[in-house]
A and B are shown apart, each in its own frame.
Chain A
Amino acid sequence: MTAMQPAVGASTSSDMTINLGPQHPSTHGVLRLMVALDGEYVKSCRPVIGYLHRGLERMMAARPYRQSVPFTDRLDYCASLNSNLAISQAIERIGGMAVPERAQYLRVMLCEMNRIASHLIFFGTYAADIGATTAFLYAFRERERLLDLLEAYTGARLTYNWIRPGGVASDMPEGYAQAVCAFLDGFLKELDAYDTLLTKNPIFRVRTEGVGIISPEKAIAHGASGPVLRGSGVNIDLRRTEPYDAYPRMQFDVPVRTEGDCLARYLVRVEEMRQSARIIRQCLREMPEGEHWGKQPKVFRPAAGEAYSRTESPRGELSIYLVSDGTANPVRVRVRGPSFVHLSMLHELVRGVKVADMIAILGSLDTVLGEVDR
C-alpha cells in the first residue's frame, strides 16, 4: 500500500469515529460499537460490552446449586427456558439426578416454544434493522400469542424459572395440548405469509445476499454456533450431535445453508421455527404419562468434581460448566453464551463494509446482551 492509501484499520484525519450505542435503535440492548468511518465505509469497529454485567456467575456460585436457576432467566432473556434447561442439566449431571420421561418431553416442548418466540424477535427486529417496520409488528403479534400460552402454563411471560433440576415445576394445565396445537396451526400459516413479506422482497434480498459472509472454516475457528454456524454450511446442531432429553426420539430436520451470508442465517432461523413447531407437535403426541418431577435429595451436596451441559439455545451453543468441591455451593459456575462468541466476530465481519451493512450483519448475529455481559 502506498502512503496515500492508509491500511484498513489505520486512522487518518478523514476518519470519523462514531459511538454506536450504548443508546442506539439497532444495538438491541446496551451494546456500544466504537466505529471508525471513512465516509460510509467502516474502517474498524470495536465492540464495548459490559454495560449489563451483573456478575451472574459469581452470584450463582455464592448460593446453593438449585437457587441459581432464576439467575439463568436473566441471561438470554428472549429464551429464558433454554437457559433454565442448561443449568438444570448441569446440576443434574453433577448430582446424578434422573429426569422422568414426561418431564423430558415437557422440557423439549417448552424449549421449542421459547425458541419460536426468540426467533420471532429476531425476525421482527431484523426486518426493522433492514428498514421494514411492518414485519416487526406482525412478528410481535405472533409472539404475543405464544407468550400468552407460556403464561398460561408457567405464570410468567419472560422470566419463567420453570425448568428446574429434576424436572419441570408442574405438569401442563388441562386442555393445554389443544391450545398449543391450535396456536401452531395458525402460526404456521401466518409464518408463511410473513416469510413471503420479507424473503420474496427484492430489496430485502439485495440487502442481505452476499453481505457478511462467514466461511465455514472461520465459523468453526471462531467458535460460532447455532444458526450462524449452520448458515455457513456446517451441519452441527447439538440437539442432533449431542442429543439430550427427549431430542433423540424427535424427528426433525436441521436446516443448513451453505451461503454463509446474512440471508442464509435469516433463512435458517425461519426454517427452524417450522421445525420447532414439528417437534412441539411430536412432544404433545408422544408424551408419556407419569411424573413431571424426579426424586431429589433434600440437601444437595454433590461430590467434588466437575460437570457441564451443552445445549442448543436459539442463538447457539449455551453451555454451563459447574465445579463442585463437595460443599453446598459451587466453586464456579461458568456460562458460555453463544452471543458473546458471535459478537467477538463482529469486528472482522464489518471491516470495509458500509454502515448499513454493519447493521445488517450485527442483526443477523442475533445477539442478546444479557447473555453477553452476564
Chain B
Amino acid sequence: MKEIVVLSGKGGTGKTSIVGSFAVLAQGKVLADCDVDAADLHLLLKPSVKEETEFWSGQVAVIDEEKCTQCGLCQEVCRFEAIDDFKVDSISCEGCSFCYHVCPAEAITMKESLSGNWFVSETRYGSLVHARLGIAQENSGKLVAVVRQKAKQIAENQGIDYIITDGPPGIGCPVISSLSGASLALLVAEPTLSGIHDLDRVIDVCHHFDIPATVCINKYDINEQNSCQIENYCLGQGVEVAAKIPFDNVVTEALIRGLPVVEYSQNKVTQEIKTLWQEVYRSVGSPKKILNRG
C-alpha cells in the first residue's frame, strides 16, 4: 500500500484543492483528511457519513471544592499555569495528573475528555476518513494517527492500493503524525518569500523523518523569479519539482460551487494538476510487482 501525504508548511497554498482534484483523477484510493483542526476536504467531496466515532483522549483535572483544603500544593506543582484560585482551567490543563498525585486531601480527580469525533464517509470518489477536533482541544496528533489507521484498515479490507492524505499546515505535532511512515510527501509551495521559507522547513522535516518528497509550485506566475528560486533550491536539495500550476480564478470559482477544479473546468490549471497526479503516481511507484511486458 502506498500513502501520499500532501503538506505545505505554510497554510493556504492549495493543498485541499489539489487533494480534491486527485480524488477525481486517482483510481482505487482511500482519502484521508488529516487537517483535523480545520478540515475542509469534505466541502469539496460532499461525503455522506457512514460511521461516526467519538474521540476520547487525554484527561483534565477537576478539583472537588468540598474536599479541597486550599493548601495550594496543586497550584505550586502545575507547570502549565492551569490552576488558579483552586480551580482548574480546563483549556490550559495538559492532563499530566501531577496535581492529582500530590493532593494531600485527595480532592482532585482526572476526568476523560471528549476531544473530537472522527468519521468514515462515502463520496463519489471513494471512501473518506475525516475528523473534527473539538474546539481548543489537544491531542490533534493522536486524532491524526486514528484517521490514518482507519484509512489503512479500509484500504486493506477492500484491497485498495493507495491512500491520499490532505495534511495540516506547519511542521509540528499533527504534521509529524501525518507524515511518519508515509510513502511520499507532496509539498505544495507558493512563490512568495514566506512560501520559500516555509518550504525549506517542511523539506527539512521530510529529510528528518526520511520521507521522499516532491514539490509542486502553485500560482507560480504570481512571482516567476521566486518560482525560479524554488526550482533551483529543490535541485540543490535533490527534490523534484513535479508541476507548476498557474494562478487562475477558476480554482476559487470551483470551490464556491463545491467542486474539485478538474471537474469544473478544462484549462491550464486542470492540465497541470493532471500532469502533477501522473508525476506523483510515477514517483510513488507501484504497490505491487506488475509484469509489464509488451
Are A and B subunits of one complex? Answer: no
Which B residues fall within an 8 A CB radius of A?
A: none
